[in-house]
Amino acid sequence: MNMVPEGQVAPPSRERDRVPRVHVESLGAGPPLVLLHGWGLHAGLFAPLLPALGRRFRVHAVDLPGHGHSAPVAPLTLDALVDAVRGAVEEEGAPLRVLGWSLGGQVAMRWAMRERGRIARLALVATTPRFVACPDWEPAMDAGTLRRFGDELAVSWRVTMQRFLALQVHGSDAGRATLAALRDLLLSRVEPPPDALADALALLASTDLRDRVHAIAAPTLVVSGERDLIAPAAAGAWLAAALPDARYVCIAGAAHAPFLSHRAAFDAALEPFLDG
């Protein structure tokens, strides 16, 4: 493992060719930490976190299949996403810390269910076991909201994603500044294939992990935004209570991207957990 001088961060490694082609940017030194982003975005979203994390961990920021620079997979399932990510991260069986945001959180949960001994610590940020509301699950989005995203994707990816980003920061204390940052990060990589995004949206709409989260053995940090409309805080509280070993943090004033809009509060929760 390459070492870097104290207080400095190693430059990102070049993209590694995988089958399927999954884009991973790796930097830093220390225990391995995998970052998994949300729907429609890419690993560039985590750029503000990398300097600090890279001083303590070997960070692998992954573009999920069909997003950013990564090729799609078909059929698209949570297991297919887990297979693609684990195949792209070279750590020779080392215990992993995994941080998953939104859709990335569901991928991280599925990974932890499958490899109970491999995931050492799990950070679930603004995620939920089920994104769509149903009669026995109220803390979630209306199915019609997700359907509208799918309809708009066929017309304009950029307009659809602008609306999606606005929803992510709706109501947050730093909503305008966070939205500008998200837009810049979104446009820093190529436009993803519409079919891949539509498939991922269908996966969000159909996934329900509520009856399986008890199989996650790793110590887990669940972080919610108080004003999140996509993965409501009540869903995060339920998830933390259902997990065998979890701590729950709700960040006041935050919406769906607390690591951008409320960085100090987010770091205060994440740093001691990852170091534990």
Q: Which residues are catalytic?
A: 102, 228, 256
d(CA 2, CA 79): 31
Strand arrangement of the beta sheet that strand 58-62 belongs to: 24-27, 58-62, 32-36, 96-101, 119-125, 220-225, 246-251
Instruction: Return the closest-CA partner of residue 72 out of 197, 181, 187, 191.
Output: 197
Q: In sequence order, what are the beta bridge partners of 25?
A: 61
Alpha carbon of 164 to those of 45, 149, 186: distances in Å?
A: 14, 8, 11
Chain centre distance of CA 90: 19
Structure tokens of 237?
């509280």
CA angle 86, 206, 109 (to 5 degrees): 35
d(CA 84, CA 180): 31
Contacts of 180 (CB under 8 A, 6+ apart): none
d(CA 171, CA 228): 8
Burial 141-161 (b: 16+ CB within 10 A, else e): beeeebeebeeebeeebeebb
d(CA 103, CA 68): 14
